[in-house]
A and B are shown apart, each in its own frame.
Chain A
Amino acid sequence: QQQVKQSPQSLIVQKGGISIINCAYENTAFDYFPWYQQFPGKGPALLIAIRPDVSEKKEGRFTISFNKSAKQFSLHIMDSQPGDSATYFCAASIATDKLIFGTGTRLQVFP
């Protein structure tokens, strides 16, 4: 019940396309859902986050869509660029404490 399931494992997108990564959770007590971006040899960096009282949050080309009833949330990267090539992790936490991470999605954007 503490798991966060992430898909797909890998994603190949052409430059300018839309990248979509999905996550699902079981524990309805989760109240904070961040996305982290990790480049090779670097630690994860917070990209964007959402709380369950809103259905969508947008920051630049990155959008989180949240479906509370389905217990799913997704990351959309609009106009994907080669510089977006990285591994993306969704996560969830209760009361901003321990983060439970998904298994990651390796995104490759080709020019």
Chain B
Amino acid sequence: GESVGLHLPTLSVQEGDNSIINCAYSNSASDYFIWYKQESGKGPQFIIDIRSNMDKRQGQRVTVLLNKTVKHLSLQIAATQPGDSAVYFCAEPAGSSGTYKYIFGTGTRLKVLA
């Protein structure tokens, strides 16, 4: 749904620690999810995706976990670095397969503390 009048949630993490960014989705029929990273002054950049037939998917230093029971998605970043500071969005296609519309979450700002 839309986020109106909400402040962007912020997660502050010490450099070297692991980060966990959460996302709740509402459509139980959603079968594909994407995580994007948006650095200041730039467009969102693809990080990792996962399809609903998987519970977990790993990339380089990132892991996405999908819990369909509670409609929850999380992005884990291992050994967080200053370059990980950004706003992170989860996204899902709206509607049925073949849709050309994506719904983005409200975003979480990750701040990496030196």
To the question of whether A and B form a pair in one complex, the answer is no
Interface on A for B, CB 8 Å cutoff?
Answer: none
